[in-house]
Structure 1
Amino acid sequence: MKKLSMKFVTSGDEVTTLTINEVREDITDAEVNALMDEIIAQDAFYSSSGSLTKKKGAKIIDVTETEVEVQ
Structure 2
Amino acid sequence: MHKLVMRFLTSIEGKYFTLSVDDIKTDGDGAPTITEAEVNTLMDLVVSKNIFLSTSSDLIGKKDAKVVTTDTSSFEVA
User: TM-score, normalization: structure 1?
Assistant: 0.89
Give aligned-pair identity as a percent.
Answer: 39
- In the alignment, the residues of structure 1 paired with residue 33 and residue 42 of structure 2 have an alpha-carbon distance, to the nearest angstrom, of 15
CA RMSD after TM alignment: 1.1
Q: Which has the larger radius of gyration?
A: 2
SS in 2 for 1:53: strand
The ranges of structure 1 where at least 4 consecutive aligned residues each deviate by more than 3 angstroms after the TM superposition are none
Structure 1: runs of 5 or more not aligned: none
- In the alignment, the residues of structure 2 paired with residue 26 and residue 58 of structure 1 have an alpha-carbon distance, to the nearest angstrom, of 15
User: TM-score, normalization: structure 2?
Assistant: 0.82
Which one has a larger percent strand, Structure 1 or Structure 2? Answer: 1
- Between 60-69 and 27-36, report the one with greater CA deviation: 60-69
Amino acid at match of 1:49: S
**Number of residues of Structure 1 aligned to a counterpart in Structure 2:** 71
